[in-house]
Amino acid sequence: MHLESYVNKELHTISPQEPKYQELKLQVYRDIFGCLIKEFKTYQPVLSAIKKEYENTLAYQQDLIRELEPLRSHLRLAREECERKVQARWGEEQAEIGALKREKQQLQRDVEAMREKEKATQEVVERLQYELSNQYLQYREERDARNLLIGQLSYLTSASVKEHPADENTGEAKDSVELELALKVCRKDLTKAQEELNRMKAEYWDVVPQRNWDTLERTHKQTLLQLKMLQADFNQLKSEHDTLLELHEKSDMQAETLDSTTVQIDASVSEGESHIQSSQCESGTLTVQESR
């Protein structure tokens, strides 16, 4: 009881807020254990050895703790550094993701703008093609009118040359300019006609002409008619061949029957002759016996 009261008293004097609270508690129990060793004289060596072993183990563990303390602090620093790097990397990735999203949205807007631009360009191209076709028609009409005017001017020039020979050079110069213009227009028309011809060839290169189609159709009909005639002839020949085969089989059967009948008749004749000969022999024998 004295030791218990001592332990309780010493423990109450130690404040839990002290830095070495656990070591102070251990020191109290160490003192009590020393008192017990002194009281038990018989087990004093064993208890002293146990206390010494515990003290050595405790000292060894404290040394290990002191050695591991720098490692623990280093590990704590490394963990903090890793957490800081992870946070920084996460922030960078979030920034990159945000930038990529913004870039994606910008690209989508650019694509939509390009589609709208392409659509507008296509509309402009169609409108320009329509205007170009109209302009070409106007140019052709103007060319035709110009050709008529050129013809009229040529006629008038030829008439005026007869009346005014001095103006011959001027008329020839005008005619050469007009002929050059007409030649340019003709070349353009020739180029357009050549392009149209190439397009028609490219589109209808595998189309059979109507003349060739009609010829092939007539040939096909004639071939079918000949095939039907040949099939009819073949069927007739086949029926005749079958009839001849039947007649041949019947004649073979009749020949076999006739042969068997002839054999039977020959056998009967042979038997009759042998019977007659035997009868003659018997009659001759009887005659000889009677004469004797």
Q: Would you list the DSSP string of 144-203?
A: HHHHHHHHHHHHHHHHHHHH-GGGHHHHHHHHHHHHHHHHHHHHHHHHHHHHHHHHHHHH
User: pLDDT tens track of the chain, all 292 residues?
Assistant: 566 777 777 777 777 777 676 777 777 778 878 888 887 888 888 888 888 888 888 888 888 888 888 888 888 888 898 889 899 889 888 888 989 999 999 999 999 988 898 888 888 888 888 888 888 888 887 777 778 777 777 777 776 655 555 444 555 555 666 777 777 777 788 788 778 877 777 776 666 667 777 888 888 889 889 898 998 888 888 888 888 888 888 887 877 777 676 666 666 656 656 666 565 555 555 444 444 4
Give the residue carrying structure tokens 């003192």: 31
Helix (H, G, I), strand (E, B) or coil at 20: coil
CA distance 191 to 145: 21
Q: What predicted TM-score, i.e. pTM, was given to this entire model?
A: 0.29
* CB neighbourhood size of 65 (10 A): 10
Under 8 Å between Cβ of 177 and 157: no
User: Which pLDDT score is estimated for 166?
Assistant: 46
CA distance 160 to 168: 9
User: Which pLDDT score is estimated for 249?
Assistant: 84
CA distance 104 to 82: 32
What is the CA angle 277-279-283, rounded to 5? 115
With 0-12 CB in 10 A as exposed, 13-18 as middle and 19+ as buried, what is 175? Answer: middle
User: Which pLDDT score is estimated for 19?
Assistant: 66
User: Which pLDDT score is estimated for 258?
Assistant: 72
User: Which pLDDT score is estimated for 208?
Assistant: 61
| Residue among 147, 141, 136 nearest 178 (CA) | 147
Q: How many CA atoms lie within 13 A of 206 on its CB side?
A: 1
User: Which pLDDT score is estimated for 73?
Assistant: 85
Under 8 Å between Cβ of 161 and 197: no
User: Which pLDDT score is estimated for 67?
Assistant: 85
What is the CA angle 152-156-162, rounded to 5? 150
User: Which pLDDT score is estimated for 287?
Assistant: 46
Q: What are the residues whose beta carbons fall under 8 Å from the beta carbon of 147, sequence distance 6 or more? A: 182
| Residue among 59, 9, 7, 61 nearest 33 (CA) | 7
Backbone Cα Rg of the chain:
69
